[in-house]
Amino acid sequence: MTRQERIAALKAAAKERVLILDGSWGVMIQKRGLAEDDYRGERFKDAAGQLKGNNDLLCITRPDIIADLHDQYFAAGADISETNTFSATSIGQAEYGMEAAVRDINLEGARIGRRVADEWTAKEPDKPRFLAGSVGPLPVMLSMSSDVNDPGARKVTFEQVYAAYSEQMKALHEGGVDLFLIETITDTLNCKAAIKAIMDLEDQGYEPLPIWISGTITDRSGRTLSGQTVEAFWNSIKHAKPFAVGLNCALGADLMRPHIAELARVADTLVSAYPNAGLPNAMGEYDETPHQTGHQLHEWAEHGLVNILGGCCGTTPDHIRHVADEVRGLKPRQIPERPKAMRLAGLEPFELA
């Protein structure tokens, strides 16, 4: 299939059923018990500082592990798997001194995922598999001060954030992703820089790809870290006309549900959700079982709240298998038609009919 054929197949599948995204990558990599040498490989054997924990580097140094994780999630029933590139920007990789490797991380991450997705599509042509380019948050924020004593202080400019995301987007596109997933968004202004980087690609000769945007509600306040409500967040990014919008991370399914319901009410596009396996325990581990996760997300689908479901922190292929089994045969959420109005946002939404 060509990329445009895959995109058409993705959109067609979304009209027929609740699509399934993969689960956590971090927890699965952690289970491998990798050593420093796994992260260094031959290419980075003389690099300064510790590289263990920089999971994105494994796209280069241990591609076998990354391919196996894609394979496990597709086998569990995922329609869509993400590239292992969550922190693969020059800003994110600066913490490890790996800025020069950013292009190759994204390129190889996309190539690995593309190969595995195509292998599954060849085996099961009635259920094509898709690859989302994972574009995660940054360790710096444009919306909030980096100095408590100086409200205007910022560690980066919009132009720097845009350039970092642009480098990542180009490599993911060239590597063969089917869509971009800007995820775990805590800062909407950072997200806007990522959106602009994607939208500008077409002017640079790249074919347009769908955009999927997933924000993060950081606590029971129902707001992102930069202070926006769910509806305000949607109003801030709807100009991108995303293929899907959703929430992920920070919360388990029980605490995320009311915010997903609110997003389902206001968003005139597909709605996605991939919660954590509950909240972490005192040891930082996640105790929610695959059965519990699957049962809760079944209720969301049964009540017509979602179009795409998956898992975030603490979820495994077994969690995804249970989710896929629980929602099989259920109809996806119907996209609402909202009356035309001027809808703006600061921290709160504003609507003028």
- Residue 258 has which token pair? 């009311």
> What are the boundaries of each domain within the chain?
3-352
Is 313 annotated in a binding site? The answer is yes
Look at residue 335 in the predicted model and tell me its pLDDT: 96
Residue by residue, what is the 3-state secondary structure of 33-91?
A: CCCHHHHHCCCCCCCCCCCCCCHHHHHHHCHHHHHHHHHHHHHCCCCEEECCCCCCCHH
From first to last of its 353 residues, the chain has per-residue pLDDT tens of: 999 999 999 999 999 999 999 999 999 999 999 999 999 999 999 999 999 999 999 999 999 999 999 999 999 999 999 999 999 999 999 999 999 999 999 999 999 999 999 999 999 999 999 999 999 999 999 999 888 899 899 999 999 999 999 999 999 999 999 999 999 999 999 999 999 999 999 999 999 999 999 999 988 889 999 999 999 999 999 999 999 999 999 999 999 999 999 999 999 999 999 999 998 888 888 899 999 999 999 999 999 999 999 999 999 999 999 999 999 999 999 999 999 999 999 999 999 87
Look at residue 280 in the predicted model and tell me its pLDDT: 86
Strand, coil or helix: 134 = strand
**CA–CA dist 130, 116 (Å, integer):** 10
> Which amino acid would we find at residue 290?
P
**CA–CA dist 37, 40 (Å, integer):** 5
- Contact (Cβ atoms closer than 8 angstroms) between residue 234 and residue 263: yes
Look at residue 273 in the predicted model and tell me its pLDDT: 98
- Contact (Cβ atoms closer than 8 angstroms) between residue 140 and residue 172: no
**CA–CA dist 341, 272 (Å, integer):** 24
- Residue 182 has which token pair? 């800007």
Neighbour tally for 25: CB within 10 Å: 25
Strand, coil or helix: 325 = helix
Prediction pTM value? 0.96
Strand, coil or helix: 158 = helix
Look at residue 208 in the predicted model and tell me its pLDDT: 97
Was domain 3-352 assigned CATH 3.40.50.1110? no
Is 312 annotated in a binding site? The answer is yes
Is 59 annotated in a binding site? The answer is no
